[in-house]
C-alpha cells in the first residue's frame, strides 16, 4: 500500500515522496517496467523490491570508496531515504562493450570490446525520446557547464571502475550502464553526486561464461523472466540469500 505522503514526482519506475526532513525525499520503487520510450509496458512482480535492494548495495559501495551519492538509507522493502537534488537533465551513459544503440549506429556486433570506456549523453526528455547530445549542446543550452562536465566524466568513470569490478567478481560482464547526476547546493557552490538508481534496469549485464543477459534486455527482447534474471544478479552479489529461488523468501537484512 502506498504511504500517505505528499507525492513530489512520479516517473516510469519510481515515485518520489516528500521526506521526513527538509532536503530529503523518499524514493519508492514500483514494479512497473517500460521499454522503447514507454511503448512497451508491464508490471513485473518483485522488480521494485529487487531494484531497491540492488541500488542500495551499489550506492553504499560507492560511498565506501568515496564516490558521493544521494542515498541515505533504506527504509523498507520498496523505499529508501535520499537527498533531494536538482537532477541534471542528462542520461550519462558509459559503455565498455558495444550493445544497443551504439552497436546499431556504428554497425558493431554486440559484445565487441570498445577501445576504451566511452561516455555519452542523452538529453532527458521523454517527448523527444531522450536524444543523444554532445558536450557542445549541453554547454550551449546551459544544462551543465564545462566544470560540471569534467566532474560528471570523473564520476562516471569511477562508477564504471567500481561496478565493472564488483560485477566481474561475480561472473558478470558490465557491458554499459546509465546514471543520473544530481546537483546539491552548498552555499554559493554546487556539488554533483550520483542520483536516481543503479540497478539492472539501467545496466547491460552479461554472464561472463555463457553470455546470458541478466538485465532489462530480458524484458525489452522477451528473453524470459525478468525477476529470475534480477534475482540471479542479487543472489550472486549476496543481496539475496544463495538458496533463494525468487524474491519471496526473506531478503537478507
Which residues in this chain contact ligand UDP in the complex, by CB under 6 A? 91, 93, 99-102, 130, 176-178, 202-204, 216
**Shortest gap between Cβ of 138 and ligand UDP (angstroms)?**
16
Pick left, alpha or beta for residue 129 (phi over 0 → left; psi -120 to 50 → alpha; otherwise beta). Answer: left
**Which residue is closest to ligand UDP by CB?**
100
**Shortest gap between Cβ of 101 and ligand UDP (angstroms)?**
4
Closest CA to 97 of 180, 211, 199: 211
Output 53 or 204, the one with its CB closest to ligand UDP. 204
Output 80 or 199, the one with its CB closest to ligand UDP. 199
Half-sphere exposure of 67 (CA within 13 A, CB side): 23
Output 56 or 130, the one with its CB closest to ligand UDP. 130
Report the distance separating Cα 37 and Cα 231, nearest Å. Answer: 25
Output 19 or 56, the one with its CB closest to ligand UDP. 56
**Shortest gap between Cβ of 137 and ligand UDP (angstroms)?**
16
Report the distance separating Cα 239 and Cα 84, nearest Å. Answer: 26
Output 152 or 203, the one with its CB closest to ligand UDP. 203
**Shortest gap between Cβ of 14 and ligand UDP (angstroms)?**
12
Contact 63, 55 (CB under 8 A): no
Closest CA to 174 of 130, 113, 250, 243: 113
**Shortest gap between Cβ of 71 and ligand UDP (angstroms)?**
18
Amino acid at each position: 500500500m502506498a504511504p500517505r505522503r505528499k507525492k513530489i514526482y512520479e516517473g516510469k519506475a519510481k515515485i518520489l515522496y516528500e521526506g521526513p526532513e527538509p532536503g530529503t525525499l523518499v524514493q519508492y520503487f514500483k514494479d512497473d517496467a517500460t521499454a522503447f520510450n514507454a511503448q512497451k509496458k508491464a508490471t513485473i512482480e518483485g522488480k521494485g523490491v529487487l531494484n531497491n535492494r540492488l541500488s542500495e548495495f551499489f550506492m553504499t559501495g560507492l560511498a565506501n570508496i568515496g564516490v558521493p551519492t544521494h542515498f541515505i538509507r533504506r527504509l523498507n522493502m520498496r523505499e529508501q531515504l535520499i537527498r533531494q537534488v536538482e537532477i541534471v537533465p542528462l542520461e550519462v551513459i558509459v559503455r565498455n562493450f558495444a550493445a544497443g544503440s551504439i552497436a546499431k549506429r556504428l554497425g558493431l556486433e554486440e559484445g565487441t570490446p570498445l577501445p576504451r570506456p566511452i561516455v555519452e549523453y542523452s538529453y532527458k526528455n521523454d517527448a523527444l525520446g531522450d536524444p543523444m547530445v554532445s558536450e557542445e549542446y549541453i554547454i550551449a543550452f546551459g544544462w551543465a557547464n564545462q566544470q560540471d562536465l569534467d566532474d560528471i566524466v570523473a564520476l562516471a568513470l569511477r562508477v564504471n571502475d567500481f561496478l565493472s569490478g564488483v560485477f566481474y567478481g561475480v561472473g558478470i560482464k558490465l557491458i554499459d550502464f546509465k546514471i543520473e547526476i544530481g546537483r546539491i547546493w552548498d552555499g554559493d557552490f554546487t556539488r554533483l553526486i550520483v542520483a536516481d538508481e543503479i540497478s539492472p534496469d539501467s545496466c547491460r549485464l552479461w554472464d561472463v561464461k555463457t553470455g546470458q543477459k541478466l538485465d532489462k534486455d530480458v524484458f525489452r527482447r522477451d528473453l524470459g523472466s525478468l525477476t529470475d534474471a534480477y534475482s540471479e544478479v542479487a543472489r550472486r552479489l549476496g543481496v539475496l540469500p544463495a538458496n533463494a529461488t525468487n524474491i519471496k523468501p526473506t531478503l537478507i537484512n
